[in-house]
Amino acid sequence: MAEFLTTNGTSHNIENIIIEAKAKLILVSPYLQISKTFFERLKDASNKNVSIKIIYGKDELKPNERNSLAELKNVELYFFENLHAKCYFNETKMVITSMNMYEFSEKNNREMGVLINRNIDKELFDKAVAETYSIIQSAEQVSLRKVDRPIFTNKKQQDNNQNKYKRIIRGYCIRCENRIDYNPTRPYCGDCFSIWSQYENPDYQENVCHRCGEYEMTSMNKPQCYHCYTEHQQELRRMM
């Protein structure tokens, strides 16, 4: 029979599922953040040649987190916008829970979960596996290579436009990397802006490109990397 889990039990079993995976590991979690512990566990699994599939659903993944995933072999990343389920499994064990992946090392929230062992509840286990694969089928695979990073575009405009011009509508705070609206004249999120505005130094050095989110030297004056800056200039010219 499936086993009931509280917060601690849920974290503990998710961690075990990652550690004990022999050939495959599937992690379904709308919110994905790559904490250090989580990354270390994934790295160990990847080094044991475990095939890892991660399905997430919120566009908050930071490019630098994606870049660290790209360093691992055997990792496939999928994006499915309407994802709300959280489910983690390897060949034999599965946890279905309220807990998002990034929360597994935190103990603040009250979560619940159930642990399913394939050797005991094969039918239940296989149904959840089938549902997960059906989600993967309708999800889009996200390339982990830097150059293929998806940019978030205005869909309507994209459809109306026959040429390759895509207007970027989401960018990154140049200080904390959080997703914010793309606007090179406002490259900080609200919190970071209020700290920046205490000094108002337009050349104060930050580390993230407002447009692509990669580590680059930026500032209020120059919020984009050189590549993004030239792309943006071309866009402005096309709009005129």
Place of tokens 């475990």: 50
**Quick one: 62 or 175, whose CB is closer to Zn ion?**
175
Interacting stretch for Zn ion, rule CB under 5 A, among 41-49, 84-92, 160-168, 221-229? 221-229
- Tell me the residue type at 210: H
Interacting stretch for Zn ion, rule CB under 5 A, among 55-63, 66-74, 142-150, 167-175? 167-175
Interacting stretch for Zn ion, rule CB under 5 A, among 32-40, 123-131, 166-174, 199-207? 166-174
**Quick one: 75 or 192, whose CB is closer to Zn ion?**
192
Question: Would you count residue 228 as binding Zn ion (CB under 5 A)?
Answer: yes
- Tell me the residue type at 48: K
- CA–CA distances in Å: residue 195 to residues 10, 22, 62, 86, 181: 37, 47, 22, 36, 19
| Alpha carbon distance 172, 71 (integer Å) | 22
Q: Which of 192, 206, 208, 220 binds Zn ion (CB under 5 A)?
A: 192
Could you tell me if 118 and 91 are in contact, meaning their C-beta atoms sit under 8 angstroms apart?
yes
The angle, 0 to 180 degrees and rounded to 10, between the axes of the packed helices 36-47 and 7-20 is: 30
Least distance in Å: CB of 161 to Zn ion?
A: 22
Q: Which of 16, 136, 176, 232 binds Zn ion (CB under 5 A)?
A: 176
Contact residues: Zn ion, CB under 5 A: 173, 175-176, 189, 192, 209, 211-212, 225, 228
